[in-house]
Amino acid sequence: MKRRDFFKYFSTAAVLSALPSLSKAKKPEFNWKMVTTWPKNFPGLGTGAQFLADKIQELSGGRIKVTVYGAGELVPAFEIFDAVSNGVAELGHGSAYYWKGKNDTFQFFSTVPFGMTSSEMNAWLYKGGGMEFWKKAYSPFNLIPMAAGNSGVQMGGWFNKEINSLEDLKGLKMRIPGLGGEVLKRAGGTPVNLPGGELFTALKTGTIDATEWVGPYNDLAFGLHKAAKYYYYPGWHEPGTTIECFMNANKFSELPEDLQKIVIGAAKIANMDMLCEFISRNNDALEILKNKHKVDIRQYPDEVLKELYNISKIVVKELSLKDDFAMQVYESYSSFQKKTTNWNEISIKPYLNILE
């Protein structure tokens, strides 16, 4: 073989070897199911699940095909944890506070009232030891968790009455999950946990008096402005909610090492993509709610936020005292938040104050 032809042959071979096999792309080696707590293709959350499924298939060269099932299509929204644990599906897409009935400590891996923001949560999970605790927490359930999105700071919620003091929260029946729900309960309200697809009807018919969901982008898509008059901020209860994708551990172990890395890598890509989408779209949706639909957008009174903050500290501290593992997670979470808060005091906060 001539020298020129030799190098031409091997250069072409190298390029082809780096491309996904067409035959494999047509016939997946693994057909996986993903069940979610969201309506299928619901903006941000549902589309985030589909984005992850598509990314896994793309990066694997078609070797893994993931079919996404929205809430209720294969299993009910709040039964996906057990479904994946038992092998009914390989992947689940939701948020860890939905499964607090399994272990209260799970809520640290979703969001904590007055807790860490999205960037701080990602830093804690990836670089601060949070992911190791999360894996340990899910291990008894035959699950492996991954961060697969984040909503950023949420809105405070939709109400049909003004909130001028803590008294206005007493007797209020509000859809609010996780630790935020427990804080509301201590403030005299009644927390209710409903899947997103049921919120509009529940609020419109008076089954609930108020609801939080995510933020303008998602709330507009659900039409919540048609069911409530007042839209409050900030989302004290969810300052940076991590959206998860968890895997059946047995099914994950069946993957060859390269595909395991692809699934984990795809989740990291999805984690960033969802946050960027919310940041990109929230203000546009807010302008529509404000200018087109004339929504009354209000800030929680400082007095209310301060009292909720004090209650929150008690609730989170009590959670940490439940067992040794809860205390370990609490200490890791709180110490990391303190560290990032100290840095934010001389970095982000002064910078934002300049822009006021």
Tens of pLDDT, residues 264-280: 999 999 999 999 999 99
Can you give the pLDDT at residue 28?
A: 85
What does the radius of gyration of the chain's CA atoms come to, in whole angstroms?
22
Evaluate whether residue 77 is within a structural domain.
yes
- For residue range 31-40, what is the model confidence (pLDDT) as tens digits? 999 999 999 9
Q: What is the mean pLDDT of residues 334-341?
A: 97
The SS3 assignment for 87 reads: coil
Evaluate whether residue 287 is within a structural domain.
yes
Q: How far is CA 253 from the centre of its chain?
A: 25
Give the ranges where the chain is alpha helix by DSSP (H): 3-18, 22-26, 46-59, 80-85, 118-127, 130-138, 178-186, 199-205, 216-222, 249-253, 257-287, 302-320, 324-346, 348-354
CB 246 within 8 A of CB 138: yes
Whether residue 186 is found in the same domain as residue 264: no
CA-based end-to-end distance of the chain: 71
Question: Token match 């985030």: residue?
Answer: 48
Whether residue 163 is found in the same domain as residue 294: yes
What are the tokens at 152? 């950023």
CB 205 within 8 A of CB 135: no
Into how many domains does the chain fold? 2
Whether residue 40 is found in the same domain as residue 84: yes
**What angle (nearest 5°) sits at the alpha carbon of residue 258, between those of residues 257 and 264?**
90
Evaluate whether residue 8 is within a structural domain.
no
Whether residue 122 is found in the same domain as residue 222: no
CATH code, 120? 3.40.190.170
Task: HSE, CB side, 13 Å, CA atoms: give it for residue 137.
Answer: 31
Domain span at residue 304? Answer: 157-237+282-321
Distance CA 120, CA 137 (A): 20
Q: What are phi and psi of 253, to 5 degrees?
A: -65, -20
Evaluate whether residue 356 is within a structural domain.
no
Whether residue 46 is found in the same domain as residue 147: yes
Evaluate whether residue 331 is within a structural domain.
no
Evaluate whether residue 273 is within a structural domain.
yes
CB proximity list for 81: less than 8 A, separation 6 or greater = 92, 94, 98, 99, 102, 141, 143, 246
* Domain termination site, one of 280, 305, 334: 280
| Whether residue 234 has a cis bond before it, omega within 30° of 0 | yes
Can you give the pLDDT at residue 9?
A: 37
Which helix (H) or strand (E) segment holds residue 30: the answer is strand 30-36
Whether residue 213 is found in the same domain as residue 307: yes
Q: How far is CA 289 from the centre of its chain?
A: 23
Whether residue 209 is found in the same domain as residue 252: no
Whether residue 144 is found in the same domain as residue 185: no
Torsion, Cα of 87, 250, 100, 42 (10° steps): -60
How far, CA to CA in Å, does 79 sit from each of 157, 212, 266? Answer: 25, 21, 24
Whether residue 43 is found in the same domain as residue 134: yes
Can you give the pLDDT at residue 341?
A: 96
Whether residue 100 is found in the same domain as residue 175: no
- Strands 230-233 and 296-299, sheet pairing: parallel
Whether residue 136 is found in the same domain as residue 273: yes
Evaluate whether residue 138 is within a structural domain.
yes
CATH code, 179? 3.40.190.10
Q: Residue 225 above 70 pLDDT?
A: yes
Evaluate whether residue 205 is within a structural domain.
yes
Whether residue 205 is found in the same domain as residue 273: no
* Domain termination site, one of 280, 304, 336: 280
- For residue range 275-330, what is the model confidence (pLDDT) as tens digits? 999 999 999 999 999 999 999 999 999 999 999 999 999 999 999 999 999 999 99
Question: Token match 């969802």: residue?
Answer: 274
Q: Bin 41: left if φ > 0, else alpha if -120 < ψ < 50, else beta.
A: left
Q: Residue 8 above 60 pLDDT?
A: no
Distance CA 53, CA 64 (A): 9
Q: What is the mean pLDDT of residues 172-200?
A: 97
* Domain termination site, one of 280, 309, 338: 280
Diameter of the chain by CA atoms?
Answer: 88
- For residue range 83-130, what is the model confidence (pLDDT) as tens digits? 999 999 999 999 999 999 999 999 999 999 999 999 999 999 999 999
